[in-house]
A = this chain, B = another copy of it.
Amino acid sequence: MSFFPASLETLIDRFASLPGIGRKSAQRLAFHILSLPDEEATAFADAITEAKANVHCCRICQNLTEGEVCAICASDRRDKSTICVVSEPRDVLSIERGREYNGTYHVLHGVLSPMNHVGPDDIRIKELLVRAAEDEVEEVIMATNPDTEGEATAMYISRLLKPFQIKVTRLAYGIPVGSNLEFADDATLNRAIEGRTEM
């Protein structure tokens, strides 16, 4: 039995359908929306509609953009010979935050996952191969997440890139900066020892 008016229930249901939002949080969010001034609630609804209408994938790197080509692909100052392959648009943000990488990106929008029926045609691998076919590209850095699916995807793509004679690299594994050896897991420590560098 529902104790809320129908349109409030609908709004609660919508919030509850978002990832990480439970029923109680959804109620709190819906009540918050009702408590907003009319113009702010309308602005919220408009923000959804407009983001959905305006944002699409960059023709080149598949990152989210409002133009035909994203700011990074359009920039003269980025090194077009290096492509960093990530699984999600938010990963671009993570790497950009470091302010060191100056190449371009390629966003796969997912990883290979046979369990979830995600195959090579479901993510943007084809578009990467098209870019690799251009002679400008010299290195592809695989920066998918260091989990099973991310690893498998990186491995799969690196094999596809073999014929293009492009250098394919992988992000280094090791202990995180500022962390504590005591809390590092075995697999990470082993990788850190394997990948040790001369001082």
Contact = CB atoms under 8 A, between A and B. Distances in A.
Interface in A44-82: 44-55, 64-66
Interface residues of A, number: 49
A187 interface: no
A156 interface: no
A107 to B, nearest CB: 11
Contacts of A8: 51, 55, 64
A6 B55 CA distance: 9
Q: How many copies does the complex hold?
A: 2
Nearest to A97: B3
Given A28-B19, A32-B19, A66-B7, A14 B47 contact: yes
Given A20-B28, A29-B18, A55-B34, A50 B10 contact: yes
Nearest to A72: B3
12 contacts: A4-B89, A5-B65, A6-B66, A10-B47, A14-B43, A20-B29, A21-B29, A27-B93, A42-B49, A42-B52, A44-B48, A45-B49
